């Protein structure tokens, strides 16, 4: 436990955030976990339609409904991955948590300034505004489930497999900036896929690989040895697959 070195976590209200907290709390002093309520489904859909178009979003919604069935079929493999990697998604104790409606609220700035963490771990939130990122001197470090900048956005592992790009099916630990997964790369690694893995298990494999890299990144901050890596990869922003895209990729390419 690094008692003289403090971190805070800015998180979405999901299993991956709980897993990251439990993985870090025994190695670092986690002052608080600030959890945001998140964007309402109505606002999220309106924003997506504006960016992607109605037809695309309808296809994505249909896949999300279909994926509820897939998730049940993935349960045993997810349980196996969690057990193999000692991943715990039990609830975080209430005295550690600060709930906010929006991670960009001024309340978050107040809490960051109050506790003055040496590093801020970001997991599963919406895009952080510049006034949050500039509120304290500590670096904000994020886990992205994809190899950046080639697989920015969402489901980077899945899309790498669809593109037959197994060498870039992995996870990235990076500095957060005002862009979407565009911050400086600290660590990256690939994941090993089994026949029993699928769309819902890839993120657990990525998270299992990300945790030790996140710990190294935090120790780098502590030791003042944080280094950004250069890359020559092309950049592309990916979104959720539609039901048609998923079924086509599953039938023609065997990507589950």
Q: Which residues contact 245 (CB under 8 A, 6 or more apart)?
A: 59, 63
Residue 41 tokens, joined: 């489904």
**Record: fold of 2-253:** Rossmann fold (3.40.50)
Going residue by residue through the chain (256 aa), what tens digit of pLDDT does each one get? 556 899 999 999 999 999 999 999 999 999 999 999 977 778 888 888 988 899 999 999 999 999 999 999 999 999 999 999 999 999 999 999 999 999 999 999 999 999 999 999 999 999 999 999 999 999 999 999 999 999 999 999 999 999 999 999 999 999 999 999 999 999 999 999 999 999 999 999 999 999 999 999 999 999 999 999 999 999 999 999 999 999 999 999 999 9
Type and span of the H or E element at 37: none
Model-level pTM?
Answer: 0.93
Q: Which residues contact 116 (CB under 8 A, 6 or more apart)?
A: 6, 136, 138
Report the distance separating Cα 63 and Cα 48, nearest Å. Answer: 15
Q: What are phi and psi of 33, to 5 degrees?
A: -115, 115
Q: Using only C-alpha atoms, what is the Rg of the chain?
A: 18
Nearest to 171, CA basis, from 189, 151, 198, 192: 189
């Amino acid at each position: 436990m690094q008692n003289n070195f403090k971190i805070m976590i800015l998180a979405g209200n999901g299993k991956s955030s709980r897993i990251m907290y439990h993985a870090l709390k025994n190695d670092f002093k986690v002052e608080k976990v600030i959890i945001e309520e998140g964007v309402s489904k109505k606002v999220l859909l309106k924003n997506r339609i504006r960016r992607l178009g109605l037809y695309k979003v309808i296809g994505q919604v249909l896949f999300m409904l279909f994926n509820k069935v897939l998730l049940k079929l993935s349960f045993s493999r997810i349980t196996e991955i969690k057990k193999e990697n000692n991943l715990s998604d039990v609830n975080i104790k209430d005295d550690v948590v600060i709930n906010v409606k929006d991670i960009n609220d001024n309340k978050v700035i107040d809490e960051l300034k109050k506790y003055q963490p040496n590093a801020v771990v970001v997991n599963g939130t919406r895009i952080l505004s510049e006034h949050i990122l500039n509120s304290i001197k500590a670096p904000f470090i994020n886990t992205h489930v994809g190899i950046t900048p080639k697989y920015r956005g969402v489901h980077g592992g899945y899309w790498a497999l669809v593109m037959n790009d197994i060498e870039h099916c992995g996870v990235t630990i990076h500095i957060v900036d005002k862009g979407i997964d565009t911050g400086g790369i600290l660590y990256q690694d690939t994941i090993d896929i089994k026949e029993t893995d699928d769309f819902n298990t890839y993120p657990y494999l990525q998270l299992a690989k990300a945790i030790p890299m996140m710990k190294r990144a935090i120790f780098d901050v502590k030791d003042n040895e944080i280094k950004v890596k250069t890359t020559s990869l092309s950049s592309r922003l990916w979104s959720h697959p539609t039901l048609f895209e998923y079924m086509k990729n599953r039938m023609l390419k065997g990507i589950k």
